[in-house]
Chain A
Amino acid sequence: MWITWKAPSPNNFNPAADPGLMRMPKSRGGCPATLMKKIQRLEMEGISKSFHGIHANKEISLSVGSGEILGLLGENGAGKTTLMNILYGLYQPDAGQIKINGSPVRITNPMESILMGIGMVHQHFMLIQNHSVIENIALGYKDTPFFFPKIKIREKVASFSRQFNFTIDLNQKIWQLSAGEQQRVEIIKALMNGADLLILDEPTSVLTPKEIEELIIILRQMKADGHCVIFISHKLDEIMNICDRVVVLQKGSIVGSADTGKTDKKTLARMMVGRDVVFNISKEKLAKGQEILRADQIHVTGDMGLPAVKGVSFDLHENEIFGIAGVAGNGQRELAEAITGIRRIDSGKVTINGKDITNLSPRHIYDHGVSHVPEERIRFGIAPGLFLYDNAILKQHHLKKFSRRYFLKYNDVKTHTQGIVDDFKVLTHSIDNQIRNLSGGNIQKLILGREISEQPRLLVASHPTYGLDVGATEFLRHHLLKLRKQGSAVLLFSEDLEEIFELCDRIAVIFAGEFMGIFDSDDERLCEIGLMMAGSKRI
């Protein structure tokens, strides 16, 4: 009798009982890849998985064949990622089975799934920042020699890069690459390991529009080469554009599937949220009120010690939403952090209601009525091991409302938290729950609720709907408009142009730390916003 930890040991391994695993022990020894059977069809049958009594996946069956791109559409927490983690061997299903080319297989860890020909590109890349591209690829490659790994595989990487038109300097360090380039490294890693089936988890969420186009070209080529692709997203446009077929998940179950050629966005959206979604929010005309925020020639230094914001000036009034559009990494984060006091302003001046708040502490700035939904929510927005109600007062715990002298009024705090959870539909079984147990979208809803509920004079919101599903996005946008109506000002950073155009009264385009122009939302010159975002036009 053998005792093993998760992975079956090779000694008692019986290939005959498990045909899908047959190539596994051999390929480690360097057997030619031709022995492996290519994945022609992958099926998942009746997959169920529950965490702590809550169904993440409930009797899900789907299949994907060679040369097909299958879209997996669903809101946050619908169970898309869980399902793919089961396929990748990170989780074991409670029930159901996976079949490759018709024969059942058992995948107990990612190494097994890689050897079976399944590759996964995670939403958050699994790359080592301080290592070079080639080192990262060598690390994940199954046939990397023990000595001098880089030399041996360099040629192989180069040929893959040529095949897919990748132009990346293999000696660059990962942190020097853009998100799109990092994603391509992940794709090469998967392809080098002989992935016939590639899973992409929300691959476009970190990409610029141009990088998305490049990704689509790569995916089309993979499809032509006979690969299977599973594409996870909650963006309808992409699903319609990229996928052949789409499966819609809701609360862990499949609620519909369709060929993308025979359906439309409205139908899919209805399947996904279970009701009709209004895509165009009508915004009423409001007259500008008093000036709330004035920024004057702000200069800010970025993480790498280089200037990130170079002399930005603007003003923001009551009843106004001011949008800052631009491709991520052009100084938006640094500007938001500078205004809210997290980052130092090198020179320039910021005033709120005429009072100078330049380089005050975050708390003082908060007390001037400035709320902040940070871009890196998990990094800045929460204390993961603390309870929901602890996190719901992260910036407000010093207010009279929640504390008396040295003590916190936990009864009031809990009532307040329950209010946010109810209003913002945060999915949790209780507020006595560590926030780390919540999904990303739900954490975000709680943060938004916390920052909005206090009626700020100015809300600085960085990509507030990033990662939110359609229903939550709609809800949030209505909330921003409500704030505007109530006389607050909103400074909105977003990459989503649709969102910018829908919500904002005035729009600034940022490129390389400078404004390329500031426009009213009905300004005709905005049709050239793409060029301005790319830095090739300045008005």
Chain B
Amino acid sequence: MATITIDGKEFDVDDTENLLAVALSKGFDLPYFCWHPELHSVGACRQCAVKSYRNDEDDKGMLVMACMTPCSDGGRFEIDDEEAAEMRRQVIEWLMTNHPHDCPVCEEGGECHLQDMTLMAGHTQRRYRGPKRTHKNQDLGPFINHEMNRCIACYRCVRYYRDYADGDDLRALGSHNNVYFGRESDGAFDNEFSGNLVEVCPTGVFTDKTLGAHYNRKWDMQNAPGICNHCSLGCNTSPGSRQGVLKRIQNRYHGEINHYFLCDRGRFGAGFVNRDDRPRQPLVRNADGVLEPREMDVMRDTMEEVFAQANGVVGVGSPRASLEDNFALRHLVGADNFTNGMAPADSAASVAARDAIAANADRLATLREVESCDAVLILGEDVTQTAPRLALSLRQSRRNKHLEHAAANKIPKWHARAVRDIGQYNNSPIFSATTSATRLDDIVMTPQRLRPAAIAELGFAVAHALDNTAPKVEQLDADTQALVDAIAETLKGAKKPLIVAGTSLGDPAILKAAANATKALAAANEATRLFVTLAEANSLGMAMMEERDIDHALTAVEDGSADTLVVMQNCLYERAPKARVDAVIKKAKNVVVLDHSMTRTVGEATHVLPSGSFAESDGTLVNNEGRAQRFFQLFIPDAPMQEGWRWAADLAEVAGNKPEWLGMDDLIKTIVADCPQFAGIEDAAPSQSFRKFGMRFPRSPHRFSGRTAMYANVDVRERRPEVDPDSPLAYSMEGYYGEQQPPSTIAYAWSPGWDSNQAAITRFQDEVGGHLKGGDPGIRLFAAPGAAAEFWAAEVTAVDGWQAVPVYHIFGSESQSARAPAIAERMPKPEYRVNAEAAKALGVTAGDSFELAVNGETHAFPLAIDPSLPDRTIGVPVGMHGVCGLRLPVEVKP
């Protein structure tokens, strides 16, 4: 700690921080460009000049850059100093000389850090009359728009893209005055986290192309606190909408999860909400086999008939739907007839994940904590494709070695360039065993390519090497044993080791191996951490609610114990082989589907009810660390579309099983009463009746415009403001917005003088880049340590012959985002992958069309050679192009 004086006020501050971070944390308005809470200081832009005084006698002082000034004890600084203010004004005037006159046609306008800083620094009149520098733009693909003229050369983009996200294809090209930030040629960014450039760039050089396609200013958008539903990590998002159209996804700061950054799937994957082919009316299949829209009152009678005639009803839940939606379906069909909607392998792995999480509740790393782990072992998971944001955190974890070197040499941790230079290529160790090459291989020490069973064995062996009471793996070859010993040695020597495992290979043994390794390691090191990833946004929640997988529902129809299927936001074809699903749908008397997208199951259903997507619903999702988080309705959809749980409640009523709950709060209380494992979810967000100073919390910024005109073409009389019956948020700009708001209800980030998302959030944090005031949102359901768990037996199911393993891709393997036009454009073509020897054995060459039957489902795709795959292993693309229901890994006979 240190005591410093800023503008005559004394503060006790953290002496490992720099002056700029401290001044911002303490609420001062000090302009900056090149500094960023995650990218730290380089002192390049000279915008944060302040006066520093040597001692009390010093009355002249000297100008220093706040971002490069340590907060040493006794320091005296003036931000509000005439000379410093003049310097800041001149610097921004000089940065602005070439800035084009195009704010009105710039997507950044209204949330532009440059606009904010120009005003803050007091540069209000342009004096430069000379010619302005111009640049040609590049086509950067479907995600990002490029307008290079607006660049002020702060270098934040390359510092984020190259130094933080380890991307390679964005560079500072050219020299001196001609410096240019772009790729060598047109094309989409290679890195999976390129979307963050939109928020990192302080001007409008990189803007969101999906927003530009139906643009609105920030102040005109209706936002809601959202939770990303494209993987299990539960990153917080702030979706924006206007007039019932989802416009964009922005990052919503969460100090324990995503903090400032999202992955591209999360940011650009929400376009499915705006698709025209979504079911928006209740549909019934007529005699000709065509789905026809029905009026609500007719539909009510139809559904009454369906349930009256039903001879056994089974419900198929969904790991991509909220707890509320699933629970309401469970109530409709009865707890005994409810299934979790996951494929058997996925369900078994998710249950194993749940057990591993429960047993290591006190050792679970948050996504943020991953960044501080200094040795990592990844078991089986290609995290870039299955839990993308984790890959970005793992990339930061390797930099702990740099920080270690820096600390030894008395270099402050915020001195970005110096820390990098002293760190060089000395990275904290990351070990990884996956089925094929991954995008993290550049930072992994001797990446291992193994079959799923061998990955689990490796994990068990590491556990045994760490603690010889852990079950032993027999018959390891010498090379593997040497590797196991090296991994064990490194993990043992680390200050904070981390084990990462996931369910993507559908093999519970991998999760058991990870749990064993964590337990073995934790005996020696209290700081040991475990990070488990699951398949979908609510996979863990579903594993907690119900262990019966989708097979039970299909079997019930097959053996005649049920003839009516009710499916909640799930596609049967994604979870089971096509032939079997076809047969089940044919055999069932009625298939009722409640969904928001035009899935294949909707296409085959007899009755369809249009349920809301995440944008049209409230709900609770349980992320991979067992954190229950609430997402809020972004806009009220046009009737009859409504939340899945409202449909299920309506159906229960016509089925003669009227639920007792009335609204969201009631429903959550019922969930907790019925399923005590979810105790705590009621605290994930304040109840509907919660008010601050008697007020709700606004969804829209205070300058939301056009309210008396936007619907005037329909009716000149203004509509009655919509009322939210489910949450304390308001569908307007009215209410309390500020620091004392519960963090889970902050729909967007803004504070006076700070319009850009990443800078405005500072006022809501306890310190810059720290936690949100009032605590980061969400309730960890596994906070209490589980019972002292035993080691799992080292049992693996190995396949001797040819084996098909899943190959995931960030764009396409997740079914909801795959429907977003921008993501669809980036989806790779489907292909089978084998190594060169396997191709020879199969008698095929690269590019040949190759036919493969998996679980009785045959697909023909071109073959690609992937030298990283193990022998006799075929990589199968999953989740897209119709290859959904395959249950992998599995033995195949090509």
- Asked whether A and B interact, the reply is no
Residues in chain A within 8 A of chain B (CB atoms)? none
